[in-house]
Chains A and B, each alone.
Chain A
Amino acid sequence: MFDSDTPGRCQASATSVFGLVLISELFRIRLEWFWYLVQRSFVPLASLAFLYYLWDDPRSAQFAVTGSLVNTMTTSAMLSLGQYLGHMKDNNAFEHYAALPVSRTTFVAALATRGVLLTLPSLLTVALIGRWALDIPLTPIGLVSLLLGAYAMSGLGAFMGFWSKDAQTASLSTQVLATVIIYLSPVYIPLEQLPALFRWTSVLIPTTYAASALRLSTAGAGLTALWPDLLALLGFAMVSLFLVPLRLPWRQA
Chain B
Amino acid sequence: MSKLACEIRSLTKIYRGATSPANREIDLDVPAGVIYGVLGPNGAGKTTLVRQLAGLLEPTSGSIHLLGVDVRAEPGRVPLLLGYFGQRLLALNAHRFEEVLRITGLLRGQSVAQARRQAGLLMEYFGVTELARNLLGRMSGGERRLAGLLATFMGDRRVLILDEPTNDLDPLRRQQLWSYLHERNSRTGTTIIVVSHNLLEVELVAHQAVLIDRGVVAACGTIGDLKRSVAGWVRIELRLKQEQAEDRELIAGLPNARLARPGLWVIPAAPAAAPDLLGMVLNRLSPGALDDFRLVTPSLDDVYLHFTGREVGQHV
Contact = CB atoms under 8 A, between A and B. Distances in A.
Interface stretch (A63-71, A97-105, A119-127): A97-105
A193 interface: no
B57 interface: yes
B122 interface: yes
- With most chain B CB atoms within 10 A of its CB, the pick from A95, A98, A99 is A99
Interface string A85-121: 0001001110110111111000000000000000000
B43 interface: no
A interface SS class: loop
Contact count band on A: 35 or more
Contact of B79 (A16, A27, A99, A252): A99
A98 B91 CA distance: 13
A103 B23 CA distance: 28
A148 B155 CA distance: 37
A81 B288 CA distance: 69
A57 interface: no
A11 interface: yes
Interface in A9-57: 9-12, 16-17, 20, 23-24, 27-31
Interface string A57-89: 000000000000000000000000000000010
Interface in B101-153: 103-111, 114-115, 117-118, 121-122, 124-125, 135, 137
B58 interface: yes
Interface stretch (B31-39, B82-90, B297-305, B306-314): B82-90
Interface in B51-65: 51, 54-58
A24 B103 contact: yes
Contacts of B84: 99
Contacts of B283: none
Contact of A252 (B56, B88, B109, B184): B56
A224 interface: no
Contacts of B93: 28, 31
Contact of A11 (B91, B99, B105, B109): B109
B54 A99 contact: yes
Contacts of A92: 86, 88, 91
- With most chain B CB atoms within 10 A of its CB, the pick from A6, A91, A98 is A6
A174 B83 CA distance: 35
Given A3-B157, A6-B118, A12-B109, A95 B56 contact: yes
Contacts of A102: 79, 107
A31 B106 contact: no
A101 B94 contact: no
Contacts of A103: 76
A205 B114 CA distance: 47
Interface of A: 1-12, 16-17, 20, 23-24, 27-31, 88, 91-93, 95-96, 98-103, 250-253
Interface of B: 16, 51, 54-58, 75-76, 79-80, 83-84, 86, 88, 90-95, 99, 103-111, 114-115, 117-118, 121-122, 124-125, 135, 137, 155-157, 183-184, 187-188, 190
Given A6-B115, A31-B135, 18 more contacts: A2-B184, A3-B156, A6-B110, A6-B114, A10-B108, A20-B103, A24-B92, A27-B92, A28-B93, A30-B135, A92-B88, A96-B90, A101-B80, A101-B108, A103-B76, A252-B56, A252-B57, A252-B58
Enumerate the 10 nearest inter-chain pairs by beta-carbon distance, A residue then B residue, closest first. Answer: A9-B109, A8-B110, A93-B91, A1-B121, A27-B94, A3-B156, A91-B91, A99-B84, A6-B118, A8-B109
5 contacts: A8-B115, A11-B109, A16-B106, A93-B91, A99-B79
